Amino acid sequence: MSTPGPAPVTAGADEARRLDAADPLPTLRGEFLVPPAPGGAYAEAAYFAGNSLGLQPRATADRIAAELADWARLGVEGHTQGRRPWVDYHELLREPAARLVGALPHEVVAMNTLTVNLHLMMATFYRPAGERTRIVIEDTAFPSDSYAVASQAVHHGLDPAATVVRLRPRDGEEHLRTEDVRAFLEREGRTVALLLLGGVNYLTGQLMDMEAITAAGRAAGAAVGWDLAHAAGNVPLRLHDWGADFAAWCTYKYLNGGPGSVAGCFVHERHVRDAALPRLSGWWGTERAGRFAMAPDIAPPPTADAWQLSNPPILALAPVLVSYEIFDRVGMPALRAKSERLTGHLARRFAEIGADVVTPADPARRGAQLSVRVAGAGAAAERLAREHGVIADAREPDIVRFAPAPLYSTFLDCHRAAEALAAVLREK
Protein backbone atom coordinates (compact mmCIF):
# COMPACT_ATOMS: atom_id res chain seq x y z
CA MET A 1 0.00 0.00 0.00
CA SER A 2 1.41 3.41 -0.95
CA THR A 3 2.09 6.08 1.65
CA PRO A 4 -0.02 9.23 1.24
CA GLY A 5 1.93 12.31 0.18
CA PRO A 6 2.07 15.50 2.23
CA ALA A 7 -1.20 17.34 2.64
CA PRO A 8 -1.65 20.55 0.64
CA VAL A 9 -1.01 23.87 2.34
CA THR A 10 -4.23 25.21 3.88
CA ALA A 11 -3.23 28.75 4.79
CA GLY A 12 -3.61 31.05 1.83
CA ALA A 13 -1.80 34.09 0.62
CA ASP A 14 -4.67 36.33 1.70
CA GLU A 15 -4.37 35.17 5.31
CA ALA A 16 -0.61 35.77 5.21
CA ARG A 17 -1.14 39.28 3.87
CA ARG A 18 -3.60 40.00 6.70
CA LEU A 19 -1.03 38.84 9.23
CA ASP A 20 1.61 41.09 7.65
CA ALA A 21 -0.73 44.08 7.72
CA ALA A 22 -1.66 43.53 11.37
CA ASP A 23 1.79 42.74 12.77
CA PRO A 24 2.98 45.05 15.58
CA LEU A 25 6.37 45.45 13.87
CA PRO A 26 5.84 46.38 10.21
CA THR A 27 8.40 44.80 7.93
CA LEU A 28 11.54 46.74 7.05
CA ARG A 29 11.74 44.85 3.76
CA GLY A 30 11.74 48.11 1.84
CA GLU A 31 15.12 48.99 3.39
CA PHE A 32 16.74 45.92 1.80
CA LEU A 33 17.53 44.77 -1.73
CA VAL A 34 15.63 41.52 -2.29
CA PRO A 35 16.68 39.27 -5.20
CA PRO A 36 14.11 38.89 -7.96
CA ALA A 37 12.05 35.72 -8.27
CA PRO A 38 12.70 33.76 -11.46
CA GLY A 39 9.14 34.31 -12.66
CA GLY A 40 5.56 33.57 -11.76
CA ALA A 41 3.22 35.41 -9.42
CA TYR A 42 5.85 37.22 -7.37
CA ALA A 43 8.45 39.76 -8.45
CA GLU A 44 10.73 39.21 -5.43
CA ALA A 45 12.14 36.04 -4.00
CA ALA A 46 11.03 34.73 -0.63
CA TYR A 47 14.47 34.89 0.96
CA PHE A 48 15.19 32.40 3.76
CA ALA A 49 19.00 32.25 3.50
CA GLY A 50 19.77 35.08 5.90
CA ASN A 51 21.40 32.54 8.20
CA SER A 52 23.99 32.09 5.45
CA LEU A 53 24.19 35.59 3.92
CA GLY A 54 21.88 38.41 4.89
CA LEU A 55 20.38 40.80 2.37
CA GLN A 56 22.02 44.10 1.47
CA PRO A 57 20.56 47.19 3.13
CA ARG A 58 19.80 49.91 0.61
CA ALA A 59 21.86 52.35 2.68
CA THR A 60 25.05 50.30 2.32
CA ALA A 61 26.11 51.48 -1.13
CA ASP A 62 25.89 55.16 -0.17
CA ARG A 63 27.84 54.56 3.03
CA ILE A 64 30.68 52.85 1.17
CA ALA A 65 30.59 55.57 -1.49
CA ALA A 66 31.03 58.22 1.21
CA GLU A 67 34.24 56.56 2.42
CA LEU A 68 35.51 56.25 -1.15
CA ALA A 69 34.77 59.94 -1.66
CA ASP A 70 36.74 60.85 1.48
CA TRP A 71 39.64 58.73 0.27
CA ALA A 72 39.55 60.52 -3.10
CA ARG A 73 39.24 63.96 -1.52
CA LEU A 74 41.60 63.62 1.43
CA GLY A 75 43.99 60.74 0.79
CA VAL A 76 45.86 59.88 3.99
CA GLU A 77 44.25 62.81 5.82
CA GLY A 78 41.02 60.83 5.85
CA HIS A 79 42.38 59.10 8.93
CA THR A 80 41.78 62.26 10.95
CA GLN A 81 39.72 64.60 8.75
CA GLY A 82 37.13 62.34 7.13
CA ARG A 83 33.44 62.61 7.91
CA ARG A 84 33.98 59.54 10.07
CA PRO A 85 37.73 59.64 10.78
CA TRP A 86 39.27 56.28 9.99
CA VAL A 87 41.68 56.17 12.90
CA ASP A 88 38.74 55.75 15.30
CA TYR A 89 36.20 54.25 12.91
CA HIS A 90 35.86 50.95 14.75
CA GLU A 91 34.77 52.87 17.86
CA LEU A 92 31.57 53.89 16.03
CA LEU A 93 30.51 50.25 16.20
CA ARG A 94 31.35 49.74 19.86
CA GLU A 95 28.17 50.85 21.62
CA PRO A 96 25.62 49.42 19.16
CA ALA A 97 27.52 46.13 19.13
CA ALA A 98 27.56 46.08 22.92
CA ARG A 99 23.80 46.64 23.05
CA LEU A 100 23.27 43.90 20.48
CA VAL A 101 25.11 41.23 22.47
CA GLY A 102 24.38 42.43 26.00
CA ALA A 103 27.89 43.62 26.85
CA LEU A 104 29.60 46.69 28.24
CA PRO A 105 31.09 48.92 25.53
CA HIS A 106 34.69 48.28 26.56
CA GLU A 107 34.09 44.51 26.31
CA VAL A 108 33.51 44.47 22.52
CA VAL A 109 35.52 45.24 19.41
CA ALA A 110 34.88 44.97 15.66
CA MET A 111 37.82 43.22 14.01
CA ASN A 112 38.96 40.45 11.68
CA THR A 113 36.70 37.52 10.79
CA LEU A 114 35.08 34.96 13.05
CA THR A 115 37.65 32.16 12.98
CA VAL A 116 40.57 34.59 13.23
CA ASN A 117 38.96 36.00 16.37
CA LEU A 118 38.42 32.52 17.79
CA HIS A 119 42.12 31.80 17.31
CA LEU A 120 43.07 35.08 18.97
CA MET A 121 40.80 34.26 21.89
CA MET A 122 42.21 30.75 22.20
CA ALA A 123 45.73 32.17 22.20
CA THR A 124 44.72 33.87 25.44
CA PHE A 125 42.20 31.52 27.02
CA TYR A 126 43.24 28.03 25.93
CA ARG A 127 46.17 27.34 28.25
CA PRO A 128 46.48 23.54 28.60
CA ALA A 129 48.38 22.39 31.67
CA GLY A 130 48.62 19.14 33.58
CA GLU A 131 45.51 17.04 33.08
CA ARG A 132 43.43 20.10 32.10
CA THR A 133 44.04 20.02 28.36
CA ARG A 134 40.75 19.15 26.64
CA ILE A 135 38.61 21.35 24.40
CA VAL A 136 34.87 20.59 24.37
CA ILE A 137 32.71 21.39 21.33
CA GLU A 138 29.40 20.03 20.05
CA ASP A 139 29.52 17.16 17.58
CA THR A 140 27.66 19.22 14.97
CA ALA A 141 29.89 22.26 15.40
CA PHE A 142 30.45 24.29 12.24
CA PRO A 143 33.45 22.73 10.44
CA SER A 144 35.60 25.86 10.83
CA ASP A 145 35.32 25.52 14.61
CA SER A 146 36.35 21.87 14.38
CA TYR A 147 39.38 22.79 12.30
CA ALA A 148 40.30 25.66 14.63
CA VAL A 149 40.25 23.67 17.87
CA ALA A 150 42.10 20.74 16.31
CA SER A 151 44.82 23.08 15.08
CA GLN A 152 45.07 24.67 18.53
CA ALA A 153 45.67 21.23 20.01
CA VAL A 154 48.42 20.57 17.47
CA HIS A 155 49.91 24.03 18.16
CA HIS A 156 50.31 23.01 21.80
CA GLY A 157 51.88 19.68 20.88
CA LEU A 158 48.75 17.67 21.69
CA ASP A 159 46.87 14.99 19.77
CA PRO A 160 43.52 16.40 18.54
CA ALA A 161 41.92 12.96 18.68
CA ALA A 162 42.56 12.83 22.43
CA THR A 163 42.21 16.56 23.13
CA VAL A 164 38.99 17.56 21.33
CA VAL A 165 35.79 16.20 22.90
CA ARG A 166 32.67 16.26 20.73
CA LEU A 167 29.45 16.22 22.77
CA ARG A 168 26.68 14.26 21.07
CA PRO A 169 22.93 14.15 21.63
CA ARG A 170 21.44 11.04 23.16
CA ASP A 171 20.75 8.14 20.81
CA GLY A 172 17.69 8.86 18.72
CA GLU A 173 17.67 12.59 19.56
CA GLU A 174 18.62 15.60 17.46
CA HIS A 175 19.64 18.08 20.16
CA LEU A 176 22.20 18.35 22.91
CA ARG A 177 20.56 18.53 26.32
CA THR A 178 21.74 21.12 28.82
CA GLU A 179 21.65 18.55 31.61
CA ASP A 180 23.96 16.30 29.61
CA VAL A 181 26.48 19.12 29.16
CA ARG A 182 26.30 19.80 32.89
CA ALA A 183 26.71 16.12 33.73
CA PHE A 184 29.79 15.83 31.52
CA LEU A 185 31.38 18.88 33.14
CA GLU A 186 30.62 17.64 36.64
CA ARG A 187 32.10 14.26 35.77
CA GLU A 188 35.14 15.29 33.71
CA GLY A 189 35.47 19.03 34.14
CA ARG A 190 38.88 18.73 35.82
CA THR A 191 40.28 17.73 32.39
CA VAL A 192 38.59 20.54 30.42
CA ALA A 193 40.63 23.63 29.60
CA LEU A 194 38.12 25.21 27.20
CA LEU A 195 34.39 24.86 26.53
CA LEU A 196 33.54 26.33 23.11
CA LEU A 197 30.02 25.79 21.81
CA GLY A 198 27.77 27.46 19.24
CA GLY A 199 25.08 29.68 20.75
CA VAL A 200 22.67 28.56 18.01
CA ASN A 201 23.60 25.37 16.23
CA TYR A 202 24.09 26.05 12.53
CA LEU A 203 22.60 22.71 11.42
CA THR A 204 19.59 22.14 13.66
CA GLY A 205 18.84 25.70 14.74
CA GLN A 206 18.91 24.72 18.43
CA LEU A 207 19.35 27.67 20.81
CA MET A 208 21.62 26.60 23.64
CA ASP A 209 21.02 27.60 27.25
CA MET A 210 24.08 29.82 27.26
CA GLU A 211 23.57 31.12 30.78
CA ALA A 212 23.33 27.67 32.39
CA ILE A 213 26.13 26.14 30.33
CA THR A 214 28.45 29.08 30.98
CA ALA A 215 27.86 28.73 34.72
CA ALA A 216 28.56 24.98 34.55
CA GLY A 217 31.76 25.50 32.56
CA ARG A 218 33.10 28.12 34.92
CA ALA A 219 32.19 26.00 37.95
CA ALA A 220 34.25 23.19 36.43
CA GLY A 221 37.25 25.52 36.17
CA ALA A 222 37.22 25.73 32.35
CA ALA A 223 37.45 28.82 30.19
CA VAL A 224 34.13 29.35 28.39
CA GLY A 225 33.75 30.80 24.91
CA TRP A 226 30.81 31.06 22.51
CA ASP A 227 30.63 31.03 18.73
CA LEU A 228 27.71 33.37 18.08
CA ALA A 229 27.74 33.20 14.27
CA HIS A 230 24.08 32.12 14.22
CA ALA A 231 23.07 33.88 17.43
CA ALA A 232 24.15 37.53 17.03
CA GLY A 233 21.26 39.49 15.54
CA ASN A 234 19.05 36.42 15.89
CA VAL A 235 18.39 35.96 19.61
CA PRO A 236 18.77 38.22 22.67
CA LEU A 237 22.17 37.90 24.35
CA ARG A 238 23.46 38.97 27.77
CA LEU A 239 27.14 38.15 27.51
CA HIS A 240 28.32 40.34 30.37
CA ASP A 241 25.73 39.00 32.80
CA TRP A 242 26.26 35.39 31.77
CA GLY A 243 29.97 35.74 32.45
CA ALA A 244 31.52 33.91 29.50
CA ASP A 245 35.22 34.55 29.12
CA PHE A 246 34.91 35.41 25.44
CA ALA A 247 32.66 35.21 22.41
CA ALA A 248 32.98 35.89 18.70
CA TRP A 249 30.47 36.38 15.92
CA CYS A 250 30.36 37.07 12.21
CA THR A 251 28.29 39.90 10.75
CA TYR A 252 27.30 38.60 7.33
CA LYS A 253 24.38 36.38 8.37
CA TYR A 254 21.56 37.93 10.38
CA LEU A 255 23.57 41.14 10.68
CA ASN A 256 23.60 41.80 6.91
CA GLY A 257 27.14 43.19 6.82
CA GLY A 258 28.05 41.70 3.44
CA PRO A 259 30.04 38.63 2.38
CA GLY A 260 33.08 38.11 4.60
CA SER A 261 32.34 41.28 6.56
CA VAL A 262 34.27 42.33 9.66
CA ALA A 263 33.37 40.24 12.68
CA GLY A 264 32.82 41.06 16.35
CA CYS A 265 34.50 39.92 19.53
CA PHE A 266 33.68 40.03 23.25
CA VAL A 267 36.10 39.73 26.16
CA HIS A 268 34.61 39.87 29.63
CA GLU A 269 35.38 42.87 31.79
CA ARG A 270 37.28 40.77 34.33
CA HIS A 271 39.93 40.12 31.65
CA VAL A 272 40.20 43.36 29.70
CA ARG A 273 42.06 45.16 32.47
CA ASP A 274 44.64 42.39 32.86
CA ALA A 275 47.65 43.53 30.83
CA ALA A 276 49.56 40.41 31.86
CA LEU A 277 47.27 38.06 29.93
CA PRO A 278 49.06 36.26 27.09
CA ARG A 279 47.84 37.45 23.70
CA LEU A 280 48.99 37.81 20.13
CA SER A 281 49.58 41.52 19.61
CA GLY A 282 49.70 44.02 16.79
CA TRP A 283 49.82 47.76 16.15
CA TRP A 284 46.17 48.57 16.83
CA GLY A 285 46.32 46.68 20.13
CA THR A 286 48.28 49.44 21.84
CA GLU A 287 46.92 52.59 23.45
CA ARG A 288 45.72 55.08 20.83
CA ALA A 289 47.63 57.97 22.44
CA GLY A 290 50.97 56.27 21.89
CA ARG A 291 50.24 54.41 18.67
CA PHE A 292 52.09 56.81 16.45
CA ALA A 293 55.04 57.18 18.81
CA MET A 294 56.31 53.99 17.12
CA ALA A 295 57.62 52.62 20.42
CA PRO A 296 58.82 48.98 20.41
CA ASP A 297 56.88 48.06 23.58
CA ILE A 298 53.11 47.65 23.54
CA ALA A 299 50.81 49.36 26.05
CA PRO A 300 47.47 47.54 25.73
CA PRO A 301 44.37 49.56 26.64
CA PRO A 302 41.96 48.24 29.32
CA THR A 303 39.39 47.28 26.69
CA ALA A 304 38.77 44.54 24.15
CA ASP A 305 40.75 46.72 21.72
CA ALA A 306 43.88 45.17 23.25
CA TRP A 307 43.22 42.08 21.10
CA GLN A 308 43.25 44.07 17.85
CA LEU A 309 46.10 43.50 15.44
CA SER A 310 45.81 45.83 12.48
CA ASN A 311 44.14 49.07 11.49
CA PRO A 312 40.44 48.60 10.67
CA PRO A 313 39.39 47.96 7.02
CA ILE A 314 37.15 50.97 6.58
CA LEU A 315 35.39 49.89 3.37
CA ALA A 316 34.48 46.60 5.08
CA LEU A 317 33.40 48.23 8.35
CA ALA A 318 31.03 50.71 6.70
CA PRO A 319 28.35 48.10 5.85
CA VAL A 320 28.56 46.63 9.35
CA LEU A 321 27.97 50.06 10.86
CA VAL A 322 24.88 50.44 8.67
CA SER A 323 23.56 47.14 9.96
CA TYR A 324 24.27 47.90 13.61
CA GLU A 325 22.40 51.19 13.19
CA ILE A 326 19.34 49.33 11.91
CA PHE A 327 19.42 46.85 14.80
CA ASP A 328 19.94 49.69 17.26
CA ARG A 329 16.92 51.53 15.86
CA VAL A 330 14.57 48.56 15.99
CA GLY A 331 15.93 46.76 19.06
CA MET A 332 16.40 43.07 19.73
CA PRO A 333 13.29 42.65 21.93
CA ALA A 334 11.00 43.74 19.08
CA LEU A 335 12.95 41.69 16.53
CA ARG A 336 12.91 38.58 18.74
CA ALA A 337 9.14 38.90 19.25
CA LYS A 338 8.56 39.17 15.50
CA SER A 339 11.00 36.32 14.89
CA GLU A 340 8.95 34.08 17.16
CA ARG A 341 5.75 35.03 15.33
CA LEU A 342 7.22 34.39 11.89
CA THR A 343 9.04 31.18 12.81
CA GLY A 344 5.99 29.91 14.68
CA HIS A 345 3.79 30.57 11.66
CA LEU A 346 6.24 28.81 9.37
CA ALA A 347 6.41 25.85 11.79
CA ARG A 348 2.61 25.51 11.72
CA ARG A 349 2.56 25.60 7.93
CA PHE A 350 5.32 22.99 7.78
CA ALA A 351 3.38 20.78 10.20
CA GLU A 352 0.36 20.98 7.91
CA ILE A 353 2.34 19.61 4.98
CA GLY A 354 4.03 16.87 7.01
CA ALA A 355 7.56 18.27 6.76
CA ASP A 356 10.19 16.59 8.97
CA VAL A 357 11.43 19.55 11.02
CA VAL A 358 14.49 18.76 13.16
CA THR A 359 14.65 22.16 14.91
CA PRO A 360 13.25 22.25 18.47
CA ALA A 361 9.51 22.83 18.55
CA ASP A 362 9.76 25.02 21.65
CA PRO A 363 10.22 28.67 20.53
CA ALA A 364 12.45 29.29 23.55
CA ARG A 365 14.91 26.68 22.25
CA ARG A 366 15.32 27.97 18.69
CA GLY A 367 16.12 31.12 16.79
CA ALA A 368 14.87 32.26 13.37
CA GLN A 369 15.54 28.93 11.66
CA LEU A 370 13.70 25.73 10.83
CA SER A 371 15.78 22.85 9.50
CA VAL A 372 13.84 20.34 7.44
CA ARG A 373 15.07 16.86 6.60
CA VAL A 374 14.73 16.32 2.86
CA ALA A 375 16.57 13.62 0.90
CA GLY A 376 18.81 15.23 -1.71
CA ALA A 377 18.85 18.59 0.08
CA GLY A 378 20.88 20.41 -2.56
CA ALA A 379 18.60 19.44 -5.41
CA ALA A 380 15.55 20.29 -3.33
CA ALA A 381 16.87 23.76 -2.50
CA GLU A 382 17.70 24.36 -6.15
CA ARG A 383 14.13 23.48 -7.15
CA LEU A 384 12.67 25.71 -4.46
CA ALA A 385 14.60 28.66 -5.90
CA ARG A 386 14.30 27.88 -9.59
CA GLU A 387 10.65 26.83 -9.70
CA HIS A 388 9.13 28.76 -6.82
CA GLY A 389 11.35 31.74 -6.08
CA VAL A 390 11.98 30.51 -2.52
CA ILE A 391 15.65 30.83 -1.57
CA ALA A 392 16.65 28.47 1.24
CA ASP A 393 19.97 26.97 2.25
CA ALA A 394 20.96 23.31 1.86
CA ARG A 395 23.33 21.32 4.03
CA GLU A 396 24.01 17.93 2.53
CA PRO A 397 23.02 15.23 2.69
CA ASP A 398 19.51 15.90 3.94
CA ILE A 399 18.92 19.30 5.61
CA VAL A 400 17.28 22.35 4.02
CA ARG A 401 17.37 25.39 6.32
CA PHE A 402 14.72 28.12 6.27
CA ALA A 403 15.52 31.31 8.23
CA PRO A 404 12.67 33.86 8.40
CA ALA A 405 14.74 36.94 9.29
CA PRO A 406 12.40 39.42 11.02
CA LEU A 407 13.89 42.52 9.40
CA TYR A 408 12.75 41.57 5.91
CA SER A 409 10.90 38.23 5.91
CA THR A 410 7.10 38.27 5.86
CA PHE A 411 4.20 35.96 6.60
CA LEU A 412 3.59 35.89 2.86
CA ASP A 413 7.14 34.59 2.42
CA CYS A 414 6.32 31.85 4.93
CA HIS A 415 3.21 30.91 2.99
CA ARG A 416 5.23 30.73 -0.22
CA ALA A 417 7.89 28.57 1.46
CA ALA A 418 5.35 26.07 2.76
CA GLU A 419 3.55 25.91 -0.57
CA ALA A 420 6.81 25.41 -2.45
CA LEU A 421 8.13 22.78 -0.03
CA ALA A 422 4.84 20.90 -0.24
CA ALA A 423 5.21 20.73 -4.01
CA VAL A 424 8.79 19.44 -3.75
CA LEU A 425 7.84 16.83 -1.13
CA ARG A 426 4.86 15.62 -3.15
CA GLU A 427 7.08 14.92 -6.12
CA LYS A 428 9.60 13.13 -3.91
Could you tell me the CA-to-CA distances from 313 to 38, 69, 82, 321, 324 in Å, in that order? 35, 15, 15, 12, 16
Tell me whether residue 252 is one of the annotated catalytic residues. Answer: yes
Coil, helix or strand at residue 221: coil
How far, in Å, CA of 215 to CA of 210, rounded? 8
Tell me whether residue 142 is one of the annotated catalytic residues. Answer: yes
Name the catalytic one among 94, 401, 411, 413. Answer: 401
DSSP symbol at 292:
G
Tell me whether residue 408 is one of the annotated catalytic residues. Answer: no
| Residue 311, marked binder | yes
| Residue 310, marked binder | no
| Residue 393, marked binder | no
Tell me whether residue 253 is one of the annotated catalytic residues. Answer: yes
Name the catalytic one among 94, 253, 279, 338. Answer: 253
Q: Bridge partners of 200?
A: 207
Coil, helix or strand at residue 371: strand
Tell me whether residue 266 is one of the annotated catalytic residues. Answer: no
The residue type of 219 is A
Which residues have C-beta within 8 Å of that of residue 93, sequence separation ≥ 6? 110, 264, 317, 320, 321, 324
| Prior bond of 397 cis (ω within 30°) | yes
Which residues have C-beta within 8 Å of that of residue 422, sequence separation ≥ 6? 6, 7, 8, 9, 353
Q: What are phi and psi of 247, to 5 degrees?
A: -155, 160
- Identify which of 368, 361, 353, 356 has the alpha carbon closest to the alpha carbon of residue 400: 356
How far, in Å, CA of 18 to CA of 52, rounded? 29
| Residue 230, marked binder | yes
- Identify which of 353, 352, 345, 348 has the alpha carbon closest to the alpha carbon of residue 428: 353
Name the catalytic one among 20, 70, 209, 227. Answer: 227
Could you tell me the CA-to-CA distances from 205 to 102, 317, 365 in Å, in that order? 21, 28, 9
Name the catalytic one among 47, 142, 266, 327. Answer: 142
Segment (H or E) for 135: strand 134-138
| Residue 115, marked binder | yes
Coil, helix or strand at residue 428: coil
| Residue 227, marked binder | yes
| Residue 143, marked binder | yes
Which residues have C-beta within 8 Å of that of residue 382, sequence separation ≥ 6? 394
| Residue 88, marked binder | no
How far, in Å, CA of 291 to CA of 399, rounded? 49
Are residues 301 and 307 in contact, defined by beta-carbon separation less than 8 angstroms? no
Write down the H helix ranges in 156-224.
160-163, 178-188, 210-219
Name the catalytic one among 125, 126, 246, 252. Answer: 252
| Residue 421, marked binder | no
How far, in Å, CA of 322 to CA of 325, rounded? 5
Q: List, as residue ranges, the binding site for pyridoxal 5'-phosphate.
A: 114-115, 142-145, 227, 230, 252, 283, 311
Catalytic residue list: 142, 227, 252-253, 401
Q: List, as residue ranges, the binding site.
A: 114-115, 142-145, 227, 230, 252, 283, 311
